[in-house]
Amino acid sequence: MGNRNIILLTVECLRSDHTSYSGYQKETTPTLSSLAEESLNFTNAFSVSPWTPLSFTATLTSTYPLLFDGVVNPIQKNRISIAKILQENGYKTISLAGGWLNPLYNYTRGFDSHNKMDIATALRLAKYSSFWFLVFNRLSEKFKLTDIYRDKIYRKARYQDFENSQSLLKNRRILPQVKKNLDQNMFLWIHYSDSHPPWYPAKEFHFPNTSSNYEEAREVNERVRENILERKPGELNLSEDELQKITALYDGEIRGVDEAINRLIEELKDLGIFEDSYLIITGDHGIELMEHDDWGHGINLYDELVHVPLLIRGPDIESKKIDEPVSLIDIPPTISDLLNLRKPKSFMGDSLLKNKRRKGVFLENAQEKRKDFSREGRKVVLDLEKSKYGYRTDKYKYILTRGEEEELYNLESDQKEQENIADERPEIRNRFRKIVLNHIEFEKEFSEKNRIKGKVESLQEKGI
Ligand SMILES: [Zn+2]
């Protein structure tokens, strides 16, 4: 028996319904389709939140992001990352993520090695940082430095040539480290981000309706970006033609990431470590393509934003479809279970290998109130007054938005969540409202207890 490696592959903005194995009409994911045949295929998996930093808080630490008064970054010491657990159990932990998921925000905690920040990320995060970064950011906005950089990188490299895609670059960076550590157990996490907008898929992965012209792709990306900056839901000004074009660009990026996953797997097979490893593939959240008159991600809790693929493959794992709803908060306990490791008390999810399934999954999101800087790292403080909570079962979706009307959808007759029946079905609405209010109350009490515990600990540290 070889080493029991854990390989976690996550894909930006990957909607379940845009994978070909879930019935999408375009052949976006041939690799995932063949993996799905050999995996536990969770057909109703949901990310906790539609926004990267919140989603990964749940996916890496099995805690709800709005706990602890909505302070999500850095992943605090009371949120224990699965990477830390594996590290403590002798695993070599290696990550290649990026964007939010960087050392500044502590998403690399528990990893022996991780990516350094690239210049694009540094520029983007600059506005969240110190005074000089702020100055730098203002200048870069004024002189369009990030645009120039983006143009250069996409036009000269990525758009023209898949071999220079970020996804392949991540494969190339992780493989030498894998080769160096073949004699020990490894936890590999790659977050493929090419499928995050703006989308400039490589030429070989264009779908019909996608222009192979960089300028046209750029134009449609810019058009959407302008709309987002204004962000007036219901007033976004995308024509049907533009929507089709941008969707095709998105699908092309998914096809590229799928190919990168294929190549990684081939390399791992050549090294002889694939068959004995556990492979987990999912998306961090989805993306809205005007289904609810809005575009992008990070605000709403509709299925296009939270329904993601989830495949688990490995030794002794049977291949079958599981249709009950599951949450990405269940991934860390599942990894603990796969390796027979102790599950920390802080994990709030359940192992997906158990037959006991959830009746429904909780969804959460909040907007950013401010960013704080501390010695531990950057913190994003969420505005809980502007939060959204959801609960989704196989039949219903309930959404509670602070200060706004409640929403309830019957997913059997209205899969696209277009007809709000909260007023028509008060008995169901009240039942779900109670479940969600209990969840909020639980989070409040939990956070309060944590606050008191923190105060006691700091007093003890000071010797009082
Ligand atoms: Zn994301």
Q: What is the CATH number of the domain that holds 20?
A: 3.40.720.10
Q: How far is the CA of 11 from the centre of ligand 1 (A)?
A: 8
Q: What is the CATH number of the domain that holds 444?
A: 3.30.1120
Q: What is the pLDDT of residue 243?
A: 87
Within 13 Å and on the Cβ side, how many CA atoms surround 266? 9
Q: How far apart are CA 352 and CA 330, in angstroms?
A: 6
Q: How far is the CA of 434 from the centre of ligand 1 (A)?
A: 30
Q: How far is the CA of 51 from the centre of ligand 1 (A)?
A: 6
Tell me, yes or no, whether 65 and 104 share the same domain: yes
Q: What is the pLDDT of residue 277?
A: 97
Residues whose beta carbons lie less than 5 angstroms from ion ligand 1: 12, 52, 284
Tell me, yes or no, whether 372 and 418 share the same domain: no
Q: Concatenated DSSP letters for 109-142?
A: TT-SB-PPPPHHHHHHHHTTS-HHHHHHHHHHHH
Among candidate residues 364, 387, 410, the one where a domain is terminated? 387
Secondary structure letter of residue 203 according to DSSP: G
The residue whose two tokens read 């470590």 is 273
Among candidate residues 338, 360, 387, the one where a domain is terminated? 387
Q: How far is the CA of 14 from the centre of ligand 1 (A)?
A: 9
Please give the chain's pLDDT, 464 residues, in tens. Answer: 678 999 999 999 999 999 999 999 999 999 999 999 999 999 999 999 999 999 999 999 999 999 988 887 656 678 899 999 999 999 999 998 877 777 777 788 899 988 765 555 565 555 555 555 556 556 655 666 555 555 555 554 555 578 878 899 899 999 999 999 999 999 999 999 999 988 888 888 887 656 556 677 778 888 887 777 666 666 677 888 888 888 988 999 999 999 999 999 999 999 999 999 999 999 999 999 989 988 888 889 999 999 999 999 999 999 999 999 999 999 999 999 999 998 999 999 999 998 778 899 999 999 877 766 665 666 778 888 889 999 999 999 999 998 888 999 999 999 999 999 999 999 999 999 999 999 999 999 988 888 888 778 778 877 76
Residue 10 lies in a domain: yes
Q: How far is the CA of 360 from the centre of ligand 1 (A)?
A: 23
Tell me, yes or no, whether 332 and 425 share the same domain: no
Q: How far is the CA of 21 from the centre of ligand 1 (A)?
A: 22
SS3 readout for 313-349: ECCCCCCEEECCCEEHHHHHHHHHHHCCCCCCCCCCC
Tell me, yes or no, whether 145 and 188 share the same domain: yes
Residue 66 lies in a domain: yes
Instruction: Output the pTM of the full model.
Output: 0.90
Tell me, yes or no, whether 422 and 338 share the same domain: no
Residue 262 lies in a domain: yes
Tell me, yes or no, whether 366 and 448 share the same domain: no
Among candidate residues 368, 387, 406, the one where a domain is terminated? 387
Q: Which are the contacts of 407, defined by CB distance < 8 A and separation ≥ 6?
A: 397, 398, 399, 401, 417, 420, 422
- Asked whether 391 and 358 are in contact (CB, 8 A), the reply is no
Phi, psi values for residue 138, rounded to 5°: -60, -45
Tell me, yes or no, whether 307 and 424 share the same domain: no
- CA nearest to 344, candidates 113, 105, 77: 77
Q: What is the pLDDT of residue 234?
A: 63
Secondary structure letter of residue 312 according to DSSP: E
From the number of C-beta atoms within 10 Å of its C-beta (0-12, 13-18, 19+), residue 425 rates as: middle
Residue 340 lies in a domain: yes
Within 13 Å and on the Cβ side, how many CA atoms surround 283? 34
Task: Give how far Cα 452 sits from Cα of 238, 447, 457, Å.
Answer: 50, 9, 9
Q: How far apart are CA 155 and CA 146, in angstroms?
A: 14
- CA nearest to 253, candidates 303, 305, 306, 203: 203
Q: How many domains does the chain have?
A: 2
Residue 317 lies in a domain: yes
Residue 189 lies in a domain: yes
Q: How far is the CA of 285 from the centre of ligand 1 (A)?
A: 6
Strands 396-401 and 295-296: unpaired
- Asked whether 171 and 264 are in contact (CB, 8 A), the reply is yes
Q: How far is the CA of 53 from the centre of ligand 1 (A)?
A: 7
Whats the size of the chain, residue-wise?
464
Residue 47 lies in a domain: yes
Tell me, yes or no, whether 273 and 288 share the same domain: yes
Q: How far is the CA of 13 from the centre of ligand 1 (A)?
A: 6
Q: Which are the contacts of 236, defined by CB distance < 8 A and separation ≥ 6?
A: 227, 290, 293, 294, 295
Tell me, yes or no, whether 144 and 179 share the same domain: yes
Residue 1 lies in a domain: no
Tell me, yes or no, whether 235 and 324 share the same domain: yes
Q: What is the pLDDT of residue 392?
A: 98
- Asked whether 411 and 395 are in contact (CB, 8 A), the reply is yes
Q: Whole domain around residue 279: which residue ranges?
A: 6-387
Task: Give how far Cα 462 sits from Cα of 232, 382, 450, 454, Å.
Answer: 50, 29, 18, 12
- Asked whether 71 and 382 are in contact (CB, 8 A), the reply is yes
- CA nearest to 86, candidates 276, 334, 317, 378: 334
Tell me, yes or no, whether 319 and 436 share the same domain: no
- CA nearest to 47, candidates 253, 305, 398: 305
Q: What is the pLDDT of residue 3?
A: 84
Q: Return the beta strands (E) in 159-304 as ranges.
A: 186-192, 278-283, 288-289, 295-296
Tell me, yes or no, whether 457 and 383 share the same domain: no
